[in-house]
A and B are shown apart, each in its own frame.
Chain A
Amino acid sequence: MEQIEFNYPAKRKVLKRAHVGVVGSGDLEVLLEPAEGEVAHVFIRTSVDGFRDTWKAVLDRFFANYDGAARIQINDAGATPGSVQLRLEQAVEVSER
């Protein structure tokens, strides 16, 4: 298991927390909560070591469209980048519903 952290700039407050997904094979769990200040903090625990660059690429793309000040925890059981992207978008959808 590898732990990876990233920070991204944020512009607006997140009002509601959201929990989606499950730590099942090829899937992941996302916990999205409001954070203080103008920063989004991502904390990842993944069962597959050595993919830091791939995580960064996925998150760079996600944060190109998302500016919420969120604390995002990801518990990953080997999800593909596509699945990660979809779960993150789902978490945002739930938190803004």
Chain B
Amino acid sequence: MSNKGYNANFINRQSFIELDARERATALFDAGTSRELLGPFDRVESPWLPMQGVTPQADDGCVVMKGKITGQAAVVVALEGAFQGGSMGEVSGEKMTAALDLACADNEKGIPTSAVILLETGGVRLQEANLGLAAIAELMASILALRKHAPVICLTAGTVGCFGGMSLAAGLASYVVMTREARLGMNGPEVIEQENGVEEFDSSDRALVWAIHGGEQRYATGLADALIDDDTSQIADAIRRFVSMGVPPVHRSSQVALYRNRIEALDSSRQWDPKEFRALWATNGSNEEKR
């Protein structure tokens, strides 16, 4: 059969985005090494959702798995974007935080353990309000503690993307991996439009949204470390690569002077084009800062 007219690699690939949270987490481990902790049959679900007439999910939309990646101990925590927009509630937040804390304790005991967090989330779960906010604050503290010992890798594959407080958690990660379909940003397009009007940001303009929040732009401006096709084996390869690289010499979020200078240098009185912006923020600046 001829390959003319289509890309055989594209047709034959196994999409990562089409997998659910549990399948995504499993796909990143060395085959046959993973086991789930606090799975759906443990029924640790949100006590707050039923009180508000919302059906809970048995794992609260957060899948925690332990196993090996490139032969080394690793924990993977995946948020299920289809359940309540992957939002962080008390239970899902505590599951993710506790998993990272246990990984941190293992590192301190001399067992190198990396973490991969799969963020498909709109941020805090509004039904759980302050508990969700507290969960994200605790998660950020846990990422900071763990990343001294082992890489914390954030993977945002899409299509929900990573927004709100969880974008700050992504910002603390040692490495950020994205696809073209994924989006990453503090305020989502709808929120900006709602607060500042359609003149500020037209959230129905998908080309504009992806030109600003999309994986390609985040990678081109140094805010993500890898841009990978929506292909399960390529994504798993990228995760293995970052696990092997270990803790980076300088974390992006430690480069305060660099980013402060860059933001100060931006003339906010005029509208910037996403392409122009790329020229200014072409790298993640780890070399720039060291100079």
Contacts and interface: CB of A to CB of B under 8 A. Distances in A.
Given A1-B54, A77-B55, A24 B41 contact: no
Q: Tell me what chain B mostly uses at the interface: helix, strand, loop, or mixed.
A: loop
Chain B CB within 10 A, most for which of A27, A47, A75: A75
B56 interface: yes
Contacts of B83: 22-24
Interface in B9-43: 20, 39-41
Given A1-B50, A45-B50, A23 B55 contact: yes
Given A22-B20, A22-B82, A24-B83, A29 B57 contact: yes
B168 to A, nearest CB: 25
A31 interface: yes
Contacts of B57: 22-23, 29, 75
Contacts of A17: 41
B236 interface: no
Given A24-B83, A29-B40, A47 B58 contact: no
Interface string A21-39: 0111101010101000000
Contacts of B41: 17, 19, 31, 33
How many residues of B sit at the interface, in one of the four size bands?
Answer: 10 to 19
Interface in A5-54: 17, 19, 22-25, 27, 29, 31, 33, 45-47
A45 B54 CA distance: 9
B80 interface: yes
Interface of A: 1, 17, 19, 22-25, 27, 29, 31, 33, 45-47, 73, 75-77
Interface of B: 20, 39-41, 50, 53-58, 61, 80, 82-84
Given A22-B82, A31-B41, A77-B55, 14 more contacts: A17-B41, A19-B40, A19-B41, A22-B80, A23-B56, A23-B61, A23-B82, A24-B83, A25-B82, A27-B82, A31-B40, A45-B55, A47-B55, A76-B55
